[in-house]
Amino acid sequence: MVCIIAGCRNRARHNFGVRLRRPRIWAIWAPNTEAYLCDEHAVQGLRVEVTLIPTDTGVVDTEVSSPRGGLVRRLVPLRTYDLVLSMLAAGECVGDYVPPGSDRSVLDVFLDGGEKAARLACS
Ligand SMILES: [Zn+2]
């Protein structure tokens, strides 16, 4: 991966993620983004500016950029965890379900394991 910081050519392996925490339990959502940082930029300090814009798409839509650098975007379905659990409880195959506004199936996002997990759920 390429570091998102402008002009940096270091190998980037640290993925930037966002999380909305539920009090004392797990996150309501916590998608990784498509942004990566190199070892150097991961530890030197960063200023992070966050703008939250409400939508009614059922998707967490993240855009990450750096000044004069790249901009990356990722769409992740909202309430994935609850949706997958309810579909599995109902005996439904969740591997192929792609929520509106997303480019990934629910199970791909939920388990981040993709094909193998989807096959298990659909067998
Ligand atoms: Zn870097």
Q: Both 47 and 89 in a single domain? A: no
Sign of CA dihedral 92, 123, 28, 77: negative
Tokens of 1: 């991966």
pLDDT band at 113 (very low <50, low <70, confident <90, very high): very low
Angstrom distance (rounded) from CA 77 to CA 109: 8
Mean pLDDT computed over 15-42: 85
Q: Both 45 and 4 in a single domain? A: yes
Taking the whole predicted model, whether its pTM rises above 0.85 is answered as no
Q: What is the pLDDT of residues 65-109, one digit of tens each?
A: 999 988 999 988 765 556 666 766 776 666 666 655 666 665 565
CA–centroid distance for 87 within its chain? 21
Q: How far is the CA of 18 from the centre of ligand 1 (A)?
A: 19
Q: How far is the CA of 4 from the centre of ligand 1 (A)?
A: 7
Domain limits at 122?
Answer: 79-123
Q: How far is the CA of 44 from the centre of ligand 1 (A)?
A: 10
Mean of the per-residue pLDDT values of the chain: 78
Q: Both 11 and 70 in a single domain? A: yes
